[in-house]
């Protein structure tokens, strides 16, 4: 479409040739003629002066420092606008429907007309499936599972018995929902007695789970991922954990059992939360932070054990100076010894 047509869809303001045609998307540093790209991160600003893109989404208040050859489309939030456009493009892909063979669907399962079930999938007894559900090949859905509307289960997803998946959820390949929590009672002879995990996992609406992420069923009750939460790939959520609304977690996060995490938290990669703690709302956790104790709200945490980000920065200054400070201490000790010897 033309830049002008696109701008009218997104309430954008065109600077340049509104009749120029765009037919693809690209990153700003790799764009070629015909591409639409965007500038949201200031670190990439220098690329806007050299990009070969036909059009660039920028903020309404963007002020260029040099000449720009690309056409600009000014919007409130380039990143959010791009997300909307990519969703539109993705929605135009042909939708799969029907039940491929070989696959197994238990006789008591009511199958909606608009469902897609890929080959080698297994749908167990008493499963409830909503409308417009996409179940890709090699998915396993256990007994008594409930799946809401507009859910996508990508290849290789495993959902164990009794778990509940809300509306508009996306679960990527290899994720396991509802495996046993890690519960073992030590015995006098040094062995361990397995504690049966009889709870479930509940994913509320609009949750997205990344590839190979595992969410363990509760010992009793439910492990709960609240509405709008987004979990990246390779994350471990232990039994009886609760993840609050619209909390996002990057890859390789680990949350130990019975920990409760509040709303709107942003968790960097490889952060580890100890068990049986509570975390408030609107916190940010830097990558590889270790969180051994409960945390309030509206904090920025870094390091292991996790501390306030400003305090971490101050400590890091001293940490970098440790070799120099060590030499200073050695020199001072030597001088003190020399003074003692002179007095003697």
User: Could you state, in order of their start, the residue ranges of all structural domains in the chain?
Assistant: 3-91, 98-310, 319-343
Q: How are beta strands 184-186 and 192-194 bridged, if at all?
A: antiparallel
> In this model, does residue 133 exceed pLDDT 90?
yes
Banded pLDDT at 342 (limits 50, 70, 90): confident
**Tens-place pLDDT, residues 2-43:** 999 999 999 999 999 999 999 999 999 999 999 999 999 999
> In this model, does residue 271 exceed pLDDT 90?
yes
Active-site option among 172, 239, 264, 276 = 239
- Note if 239 is an active site residue: yes
> In this model, does residue 343 exceed pLDDT 80?
no
Strand order in the sheet with 134-135: 98-99, 116-117, 134-135, 152-153, 170-171, 208-209, 230-231, 248-249, 266-267, 284-285, 300-302, 307-308
For residue 219, which of 241, 204, 203, 235 has the smallest C-alpha distance?
241
- Give the CATH H-level superfamily of domain 98-310: Hexapeptide repeat proteins (2.160.10.10)
Residue 63's pLDDT is what?
A: 94
CATH class of residue range 3-91: alpha beta
% of the chain beyond a pLDDT of 70: 100
**Tens-place pLDDT, residues 184-232:** 999 999 999 999 999 999 999 999 999 999 999 999 999 999 999 999 9
Banded pLDDT at 344 (limits 50, 70, 90): low
């Amino acid at each position: 479409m033309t830049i002008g047509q696109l701008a009218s869809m997104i309430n954008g303001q065109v600077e340049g040739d509104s009749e120029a045609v765009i037919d693809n998307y690209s990153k700003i540093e790799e764009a070629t003629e015909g591409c639409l790209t965007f500038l949201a991160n200031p670190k990439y600003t220098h690329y806007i002066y050299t990009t070969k893109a036909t059009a660039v989404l920028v903020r309404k208040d963007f002020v260029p420092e040099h000449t720009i050859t690309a056409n600009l489309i000014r919007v409130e939030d380039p990143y959010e606008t791009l997300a909307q456009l990519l969703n539109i493009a993705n929605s135009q892909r042909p939708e799969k429907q029907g039940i491929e063979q070989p696959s197994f669907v238990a006789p008591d399962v009511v199958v909606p007309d608009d469902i897609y079930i890929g080959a080698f999938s297994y749908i167990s007894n008493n499963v409830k499936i909503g409308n417009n559900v996409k179940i890709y090949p090699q998915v396993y859905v256990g007994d008594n599972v409930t799946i809401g509307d507009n859910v996508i289960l990508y290849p290789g997803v495993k959902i164990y018995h009794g778990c509940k998946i809300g509306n508009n959820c996306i679960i990527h390949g290899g994720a396991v929902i509802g495996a046993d929590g890690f519960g073992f009672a030590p015995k006098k002879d040094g062995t361990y007695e397995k504690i049966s995990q009889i709870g479930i996992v509940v994913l509320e609406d609009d949750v997205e789970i990344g590839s190979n992420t595992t969410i363990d069923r509760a010992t009793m009750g439910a492990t709960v991922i609240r509405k709008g939460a987004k979990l990246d790939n390779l994350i471990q959520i232990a039994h009886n954990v609760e993840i609050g609304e619209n909390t996002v977690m990057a890859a390789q996060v680990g949350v130990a059992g019975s920990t409760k995490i509040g709303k709107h938290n942003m968790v960097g990669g490889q952060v580890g939360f100890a068990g049986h703690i509570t975390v408030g709302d609107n916190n940010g956790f830097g990558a590889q932070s270790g969180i051994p104790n409960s945390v309030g709200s509206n904090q920025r945490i870094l390091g292991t054990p996790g501390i306030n980000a400003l305090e971490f920065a101050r400590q890091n200054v001293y940490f970098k100076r440790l070799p120099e400070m060590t030499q200073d201490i050695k020199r001072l000790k030597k001088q003190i010894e020399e003074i003692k010897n002179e007095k003697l």
